[in-house]
A and B are shown apart, each in its own frame.
Chain A
């Protein structure tokens, strides 16, 4: 029986890997996700058939309740809220790991059972990683949902306290192994780890959340793998490792796209005001050129190629559908419209692509930074909507800028640039955007949705 179980877990793991492989193209991705779900069904099925299982009644109830809640959440969530939902799911995964670790620990410390050193280490590690994932994810989701302040929460001695708590976890684990296996001490271990998860997440600013969500995604995988170590299950270890790797890669990509190190994101408390340099003051004195919706519509209508650069401001204004309408109107006039998506355009990796796909934008028009950057010089108009730091040429030109070195979309190389923006307020990095003062740039101020509606009207009339 164990041999059969192990083989089925292997098949499940293969299905997960093939499923992830199919995510390499939008046309095969949906089938891939289905394959992966079949793998999960197999894994759960064989576990239920395992002869160690005594009572099904409560298991079935738990499965039904969880499935119902999950299905409801998946159906109800708005695409703009996807980051907090993924955050919540990460947290649930972590929570499950802690509970399994606790249950297994309780079984192993009963009279007659033995808890050897190697197993003890895996149980404590699983409880630690699971707890940090759980509480950290809840804080991250709360910040994204704006239930708790999105700005970095910093206080004196924060790092010292974190270090103390981390040492506390190790101390408690050693005490459990060497001195006494008391339930109260095990609960203390979980409590400290939960606190650690909260304290590690609250100093991180709202706009850095994409990195944190990726990192927690990775943790949730590691937590699953740790559970595998605890119950000696190869399927769990393989699967957890896959997810751990996925989260790590995305974390790395996000950090690179923001030009920051992981340490800087986690401990930096980014988002403090930046003092304007000489160059910026000179820029501000120069002033910007404004444009009316009518003139902007003219520029767009007579262009051969337009590249739309959407930023988070677009998602906040819920204006994805208007963008697509504008693009449709332009395409009817023979204009080629493409979309340039910066890796940190949304609140999580790939978020902007999902929002545009929801608005029925064809996926062969969505381009990432590397694919589209050398097309700007052949582009008549770049339409920047609610994006700021990711199009700031200071990242290439001004070594003193905090943005210097960050990979950006080279909109400044196109023939004309129209920037749609609410006001001149600087972006997240708190620096002036050199692009706005470029001689080729026209500013169209106002709410993104309203401005787009006016543009659509004017383009249709032109």
Chain B
């Protein structure tokens, strides 16, 4: 079990470095969409929620899982849609609607 934890830790640390590399290239003008977009991504917890609910090991676990699904889904759908809405507002002059 401990060995597995260490492997997970390795993945975690390396992914952090990838994150640092990618995100430092995002210009300040897009920092708000970056936050709402990454927020949507963090809704990946939905996967955990579905697993816990789906296994249905105990009734309590299933109930907790369903509430978790609602929470995570708000995060995912709301996050992506609002990011799309914001990014749709960024136009260059010749594309600006009057």
Q: Which of A27, A36, A82 contacts B37 (CB 8 A)?
A: A36
Bound CA–CA A247/B25 (angstroms): 14
Contacts of B24 in A (CB 8 A): 249
Q: In the complex the two chains form, what is the Cα distance from A61 to B75 in whole Å?
A: 16
Residues of B with C-beta under 8 A to A106: 57-58, 60-61, 64
Cβ-Cβ contact count across A and B, 8 Å cutoff: 398
Task: Give CA–CA (A255, B76) in the complex, Å.
Answer: 28
Which of A15-23, A385-393, A453-461 contacts its partner?
A: A15-23
Interface segment, A86-94, A281-289, A302-310, A422-430?
A86-94
Contact B15–A74 (Cβ < 8 Å):
no
Knowing A58-B53, A82-B32, A245-B19, say if A233 contacts B80 (CB, 8 Å): no
Contact, CB under 8 Å: A228 / B8: yes
Instruction: Find out whether the CB atom of A26 lies under 8 angstroms from the CB atom of B30.
Output: yes
Check A246–B23 contact: CB distance below 8 A. yes
Interface centre among B29, B55, B60 (most CB of A within 10 A): B29
A33 & B84 in contact (Cβ 8 Å cutoff) = yes
* A85 CB → nearest B CB, Å: 7
Known: A63-B69, A240-B42. A21 touches B25 (CB 8 A): yes
What CA separation (Å) do A37 and B22 show in the bound complex?
A: 18
Structural contact, A54 and B81, CB atoms closer than 8 A: no
Q: Is A95 engaged at the interface, CB distance under 8 Å to the other chain?
A: yes
Given the interface pairs A20-B26, A52-B54, the reply to whether A70 lies near B75 with Cβ below 8 Å is yes
A-side contacts of B93, CB under 8 Å: 362, 364-365
B53: nearest chain-A partner, CB-CB: A59
CA distance A21 to B79 in the complex (A): 17
Q: Is the CB of B81 within 8 A of A75?
A: yes
Alpha-carbon separation in the docked complex, A438 to B77 (Å): 50
Cβ B29 vs Cβ A360 within 8 A: no
Interface footprint category on B? 35 or more
Q: Are B38 and A242 within 8 A (Cβ)?
A: yes
User: Is B29's CB under 8 angstroms from A341's CB?
Assistant: yes
Q: Write the B1-26 contact mask toward A (1 if CB under 8 angstroms, else 0).
A: 11011001001110111111011111
Q: Does A366 contact B (CB under 8 A)?
A: yes
The reply to whether A362 and B91 contact each other, CB–CB distance below 8 Å, is: yes
Nearest CB on A from B55, distance (A)? 6
Distance in Å: Cβ of B83 to nearest Cβ of chain A: 5
Q: List the one stretch of A41-49, A138-146, A155-163 in contact with chain B.
A: A41-49
Contact call B87/A29, Cβ cutoff below 8 A: yes
Query: Taking each of A33, A55, A118, which has the highest tally of chain B beta carbons within 10 Å of its own beta carbon?
Result: A33
A-B contact pairs, 21 of them (CB 8 A): A21-B22, A30-B88, A36-B41, A58-B53, A59-B66, A67-B74, A96-B46, A96-B69, A97-B68, A100-B68, A103-B52, A103-B53, A233-B51, A236-B47, A239-B44, A240-B44, A241-B13, A246-B35, A250-B34, A363-B29, A364-B92
What 5 new A-B contacts, CB under 8 Å, besides A20-B26, A104-B52, A237-B15? A17-B18, A53-B55, A74-B80, A224-B45, A357-B86
Chain A residues packing against B (C-beta within 8 Å): 9, 13, 16-17, 19-21, 23-27, 29-30, 33-34, 36-37, 40, 43-44, 47-48, 50, 52-56, 58-59, 61-63, 65-67, 69-71, 73-75, 77, 79, 82, 85-86, 89-90, 92-93, 95-97, 99-100, 102-104, 106-107, 110, 113, 116-119, 122, 213-214, 217, 220-221, 223-225, 227-247, 249-250, 253, 341, 343, 346, 348-351, 353-354, 357-358, 360, 362-366, 368
Q: Give B residues with C-beta under 8 Å from A.
A: 1-2, 4-5, 8, 11-13, 15-20, 22-58, 60-62, 64-93, 96-98
